[in-house]
């Protein structure tokens, strides 16, 4: 009987629980003994490994976050930390590991794989910046949370003829900001991948106002050079010249905490099931993700050495649609 463990690492994402549930139940269906690891790689180093049955993962598919917990673990970035983790896996007689998470998590999965331990990754991050999956677990729900906030702010903005600045998550990737701007009908968007001069934004908002718009919405990624605080300060400093100011709203971790929508529940389920299938077929050292509408596997070596790029043509589209 195979003994397989699953852990979640890095930032939590809606749909992680669906993936955990799928890994455990499809593994049990194959006659395997399934285990969970609490608190990501930190829990792995500490030996927080416990058995999981079918009922243990019942009623979690609709819950946000991760029932296994997650934590940052600088120690795992060291050779000593990884050897401690490997020792715990061997002590508990674990034969393979499924790692659900984003870039940092899959870098850790690759590191274990290089030590000869069988690992399969599952693509999960609301930033959608992980190479090897067109869409990752949690993105759709986080985007819908952002859209709901933008829609609500538009009501107030129209009522008071004001301009609002909405900051969404994305330290190095502007995917959420750009998609929220397009789907939310924003007047301007600022992302880390392409610097935008605040004066350009001011001009765009002034044109929108002159064209009869009763409100203005600017969506900015937290990692943009001019983030929410920077933009608000700029407009406040130059308020007399620009003629208006931006009211700031930071969504922050609110985007992570939503109950997963149908897409993320299905994606988490499909990717979790695919991970156990890869292990059943003797495949490992891979990431399972969604590529061109199909579940596919990408070597972890490629995942950690490649950067997923954002289609900047969509930035041009966003500006065209805002006119």
Q: CA 134, 136, 141, 142: dihedral to nearest 10 degrees?
A: -90
Task: State the binding site for substrate.
Answer: 125-127, 162, 169-171, 222, 247, 253-256
The per-residue DSSP string of 213-253 comes to: -S-EEEEEETTSSS-HHHHHHHHHHTHHHHS--EEEEE-GG
The per-residue DSSP string of 181-208 comes to: HHHHT-SEEEBTTB---HHHHHHHHHHH
Task: State the binding site for Mg(2+).
Answer: 103
The per-residue DSSP string of 58-109 comes to: TT-TT-SS-TT-----GGGGSHHHHHHHHHHHHHTT--EEEEEESHHHHHHH
Here the tokens at position 62 are 């609709």
Is residue 56 annotated as part of the catalytic site, yes or no?
Answer: no
Task: State the binding site for ADP.
Answer: 21-25, 154, 185-187, 213-215
Task: Catalytic residue, from 12, 56, 127, 281: name it.
Answer: 127
Distance linking the first and last C-alpha atoms of the chain: 62
Task: State the binding site.
Answer: 11, 21-25, 72-73, 102-105, 125-127, 154, 162, 169-171, 185-187, 213-215, 222, 247, 253-256
Q: Tell me the catalytic residues.
A: 127
């Amino acid at each position: 009987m195979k003994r397989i463990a699953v852990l979640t690492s890095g930032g939590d994402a809606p749909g992680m629980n669906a993936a955990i549930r799928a890994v455990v139940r499809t593994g049990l269906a194959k006659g395997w003994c399934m285990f969970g690891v609490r608190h990501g790689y930190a829990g792995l180093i500490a030996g927080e490994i416990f058995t999981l049955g079918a009922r243990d993962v019942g009623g979690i598919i609709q819950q946000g976050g991760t029932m296994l917990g997650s934590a940052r673990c600088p120690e795992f970035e060291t050779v000593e930390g990884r050897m401690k983790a490997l020792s715990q896996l061997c002590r508990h007689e674990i034969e393979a590991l499924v790692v659900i998470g984003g870039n940092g998590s899959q870098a850790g999965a690759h590191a274990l794989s290089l030590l000869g331990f069988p690992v399969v990754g599952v693509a999960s991050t609301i930033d959608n910046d992980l190479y090897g999956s067109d869409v990752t677990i949690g993105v759709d729900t986080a985007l819908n949370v952002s859209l709901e906030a933008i829609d609500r702010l538009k009501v107030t903005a129209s009522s008071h003829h004001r301009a609002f600045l909405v900051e969404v998550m994305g330290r190095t990737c502007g995917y959420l900001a750009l998609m929220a701007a397009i789907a939310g009908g924003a007047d301007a968007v600022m992302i880390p991948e392409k610097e935008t001069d605040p004066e350009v934004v001011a001009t765009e908002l002034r044109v929108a106002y002159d064209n009869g718009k009763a409100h203005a919405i600017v969506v900015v990624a937290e990692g943009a050079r001019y983030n929410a605080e920077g933009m608000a300060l700029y407009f406040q400093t130059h308020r007399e010249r620009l003629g208006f100011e931006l009211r700031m709203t930071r969504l922050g971790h609110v985007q992570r905490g939503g109950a997963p929508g149908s897409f993320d529940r299905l994606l988490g389920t499909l990717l979790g099931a695919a991970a156990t299938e890869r292990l059943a077929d003797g495949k490992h050292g891979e990431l399972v993700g969604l590529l061109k509408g199909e579940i596919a596997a990408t070597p972890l070596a490629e995942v950690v050495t490649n950067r997923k790029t954002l289609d900047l043509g969509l930035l041009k589209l966003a500006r065209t649609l805002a006119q």
